[in-house]
Amino acid sequence: MSNADAIALDASHPIRDDRLELAGTISLYGVAGALQFSIAAAQILLTVAVTCWLALVVVRRERVDVPRFFWPLLAYAGLTLVSAAFSPDPRTSLIDCKQLVLLVIVPLTYRLAAGERASTLMTVLVSFAAAAAAVGIVQYGVLRYDNLHERVQGTLGHYMTYSGVLMLVIGVALARVLFGERDRTWAALVMPALTVAVAVSLSRNAWVGACAAAALLLALKDFRLLAILPILAAMFFAVAPGVITSRFMSIFNLQDPTNRDRMAMLREGRHMIGAHPLTGVGPNMVIKVYPEYRDPEAVEALNPHLHNVPLQIAAERGLPALAAWGWFILSLTVALGKRFRAGRHRFVTAAALAAVVAMLSAGLFEYNFGDSEFLMLFLILITLPFAADAGALSRSGHELTEGRSATESTRHRDSLRLCVSVADSLCALRLAPCRLLGHAPSEPDQPVTLPPRLARVPRRRLAPPSTRPV
């Protein structure tokens, strides 16, 4: 192969790399949008994005970097596998552990959504959410999905999933309105549709999570803005249909059947933890052992989970897994708080904080951390602030490298000039005895032959022999 062919072949690699990165980034954007409509489409796009990312790692020989909060999350995944191994039905539990594959979203987002791409992904997310909210509003107003037996669910499989995903997007849109530097108008226009869609879903846990996220964001912007919340609540009760207001008031009714059932689940979960404190009953085994631990005051004969994130993790996977999950939440919250106080990418950081608060608040009444669509979007949102920082550090590191290169080039040039001057002086000293004895060369001060690189460097010439003092 000729040198020209080798150079041409090597020059094509960056083009292929860029195409891989572009394809992976677009696929990641597609994941954020598609998971609000179809989990199958979102997972197909996730597979494409992961394939492009792994190809980039191999072709560019990149190191796989992750934010620090990923390590406790990985510990949580490991303890989940341990729990599955000790499950009464290991095969069923291990099959349920396939959801742990979604944790790859963290390093994937960290690599492909770096810098300004984080903000672009947020715009894509809000835009798709606007369409999803419109579908839900049509279902409520036109198709009469307005009761507890037939509830708004968009194009997703369950109303809890639909309302939970839109709950997270409400935090994103409000964070952009309060802290964003661009596209604030679009987020403000989408906010009413998102709020109405979550309201008509009749999902009380999503209402609690959305209100908690909104309160956090308003407090972060200006604590005095919290005075808006009572005004909004009064407007809500003034215009909301009766089915929504009665559903809201049921939150405080301890005799409501769903509330009584959740109180019974707390006692059932406590008994499960007491019987299996280290490894739990096993992933996806709550429904199988539920009759054994069913509380006498329980309403439902069977429940697939305990409708509470910390309780479900402890009962299903054991107290060590709950400790790892708590470590993950704590380290994540502390890191996000430091970034927000430092003023780094405040919009995406505030949106991530809102997502954490919304998940925890709603998670007291629903096991949303085990919902694939919800978990995928949650992992994307909490990784974006760190990805944005990684992109900024990469750019600053490149500029620093260029600055160092320029400085080193100047120093190298000065060193070459000094070496040439020393070489001239040594040549003059070598010819000095000949000149004293009258045997000077016929062509004094013959210039020293230097390599082409050194010949271009300016040199200090010595004075002719006749003018030098002896």
Q: What's the rounded mean pLDDT across residues 41-60? A: 95
The CA R_g of the chain, rounded to the nearest whole Å, is 33
Q: Which of 119-128, 352-361, 424-433 has the lowest mean pLDDT?
A: 424-433
Q: How far apart are the C-alpha atoms of 315 and 279, rounded to whole Å? A: 8
For 162-223, give the DSSP string.
Answer: HHHHHHHHHHHHHHHHHH-SS-HHHHHHHHHHHHHHHHHTT-HHHHHHHHHHHHHHHHHH-G
Same domain (yes/no): 325, 227: yes
The pLDDT assigned to 414 comes to 53
Q: Residue 294 falls within a domain, yes or no?
A: no
**pLDDT tops 70 at residue 81:** yes
Q: Which of 375, 395, 415 is the last residue of a domain?
A: 395
The pLDDT assigned to 237 comes to 81
Same domain (yes/no): 147, 244: yes
Enter the DSSP assignment of 224.
G
Enter the DSSP assignment of 470.
-
Q: Provide the residue range defining the domain that includes 446.
A: 399-467
375-410: buried (b, 16+ CB within 10 Å) or exposed (e) per residue? bbbbbbbbbbbbbbbbbeeeeeeeeeeeeeeeeeee
The pLDDT assigned to 250 comes to 92
Of residues 305, 312, 307, 352, the one with CA closest to residue 329 = 352
Q: Residue 244 falls within a domain, yes or no?
A: yes
Q: Residue 283 falls within a domain, yes or no?
A: no
**pLDDT tops 80 at residue 400:** no
Residue with tokens 């590191």: 397
| Residue 357 contacts residue 212 (beta carbons within 8 Å) | yes
Same domain (yes/no): 217, 170: yes
Q: Residue 101 falls within a domain, yes or no?
A: yes
The pLDDT assigned to 5 comes to 47
For 253-297, give the DSSP string.
Answer: -TTSHHHHHHHHHHHHHHHHHHHSTTT-S-TT-HHHHHHHH--TT
**pLDDT tops 90 at residue 327:** yes
| Residue 155 contacts residue 37 (beta carbons within 8 Å) | yes
Q: Residue 264 falls within a domain, yes or no?
A: no
Same domain (yes/no): 323, 446: no
Q: 233-290: per-residue pLDDT in tens?
A: 888 888 889 899 999 999 999 899 999 999 999 999 999 999 999 999 999 999 999 9
Q: Residue 219 falls within a domain, yes or no?
A: yes
Q: 178-188: per-residue pLDDT in tens?
A: 998 888 999 99
The pLDDT assigned to 418 comes to 54
Confidence tier at 173 by pLDDT (50, 70, 90): very high
Q: Residue 94 falls within a domain, yes or no?
A: yes
**How does the average pLDDT of the chain come out, rounded?**
85
- Token pair belonging to 22: 């572009």
Q: 409-466: per-residue pLDDT in tens?
A: 445 455 555 554 555 555 555 555 455 445 444 444 444 454 554 444 454 444 454 4
